[in-house]
Amino acid sequence: MNKLNPDKLHVEYINVTPTEPIIPRRYTLTHSDLTEDLYLTLGLDFAYHKLNPMRDEVMGEWILNEEGYIYYVYLLVDGQFNPEIKTIREAVFRKELPLALEAIRYGDSKFFNTHKELDFVPIIVYFLSTDPMFNKVENWGTFSDYSKVASQRFFL
């Protein structure tokens, strides 16, 4: 899937509302390779029951430190995979992460409309691996960089 199709995004809230709380507020984004549907679960904890080590789930959460809010994203690059598979998984994450961040931003748009300042906090991505070659931390901008669909729908 190259472009976010809002009709294929399914959002579920577990013990959180569309606007509260900020912390803890954790996101689990899964998908179906067959239908290209995206499933965004928002809750006080990650939706571990929806995770599968063979798939490319995206997990994220809001963190508050002395400088303010930060959004952390966790991507499991390996597990029991060999280096060739890790390379493929990392490439898939890099290709699909902008769409995933756009889906999170769009799927939780009431939250972002309530807490407008969160559109401009850093998104820090953890590529998690036991292999130092794949274990990385990167800044991926802010959610304002990934709010295309939300703004486009109002102008169509």
Residues whose CB is less than 8 angstroms from the CB of residue 117 and which lie 6 or more positions away in sequence, other chains included: 69
pLDDT digits (tens, 9 = 90+) for 66-106: 999 999 999 999 866 677 888 988 999 999 999 999 999 99
Tokens of 130: 């036991």
Checking if the pLDDT of 155 tops 50, the result is no
pTM reported for the whole predicted model: 0.90
Checking if the pLDDT of 55 tops 60, the result is yes
The domains of the chain are located at: 6-155
pLDDT digits (tens, 9 = 90+) for 144-153: 999 875 444 4
Please state the rounded mean pLDDT for residues 48-64. Answer: 86
Give the per-residue pLDDT at 151.
45
Give the per-residue pLDDT at 150.
46
Tokens of 24: 């803890």
Nearest to 99 by CA among 34, 151, 148: 148
In whole angstroms, give the CA distance from residue 71 to residue 5. 23
Tokens of 21: 């709380």
**Average per-residue pLDDT for the chain:** 90
Answer for the pair 149, 38: CB distance below 8 angstroms, yes or no.
no
